[in-house]
Amino acid sequence: AQSVSQHNHHVILSEAASLELGCNYSYGGTVNLFWYVQYPGQHLQLLLKYFSGDPLVKGIKGFEAEFIKSKFSFNLRKPSVQWSDTAEYFCAALAGNAGNMLTFGGGTRLMVKP
């Protein structure tokens, strides 16, 4: 069965610091990858997704993620975080043979200090 790992459960940064959140998945075949974000008190919402093509994916609010197939990774990055980026971030994978079943990582809670 596929699995998704997010190695950092809690990250604390100061404003303007650069962010990189790790995500690794276990499936070796075709895989689609997602980052979701949940701001305090709000719905889970899609930040960005990778299906095919350019492995560097740009999402909303200045976030980007790079799919590195050889490392089974899909790390999320932002060059300069803001206080409003404080949220929980979830990586998810959809394996080619899993139908419509997304597998989520455990989440990373990001706190940005003003």
Q: How far is the CB of 1 from another protein (least distance, A)?
A: 8
- Nearest to another protein of 41, 114 (CB atom): 41
Q: Find the binder of another protein among 40, 53, 100, 114 (CB under 8 A).
A: 100
Q: Find the binder of another protein among 12, 60, 101, 111 (CB under 8 A).
A: 101
Show the tokens assigned to 91.
């990586």
Q: Find the binder of another protein among 6, 67, 75, 87 (CB under 8 A).
A: 6
Phi, psi for residue 47 in degrees, rounded to 5: -95, -45
Q: How far is the CB of 102 from another protein (least distance, A)?
A: 6
Q: How far is the CB of 11 from another protein (least distance, A)?
A: 14
Cα 28 to chain centroid, rounded: 19
Q: Is 25 in the site for another protein (CB under 8 A)?
A: no
* Pairing outcome for strands 108-113 and 10-14: parallel
Cα separation, 110 vs 8, whole angstroms: 9
- Residues 26-85 close enough to bind another protein by CB under 8 A: 30, 32, 34, 36, 42-46, 49, 51
Q: How many C-beta atoms surround the C-beta of residue 56 within 10 A?
A: 11
Q: How many C-beta atoms surround the C-beta of residue 89 within 10 A?
A: 23
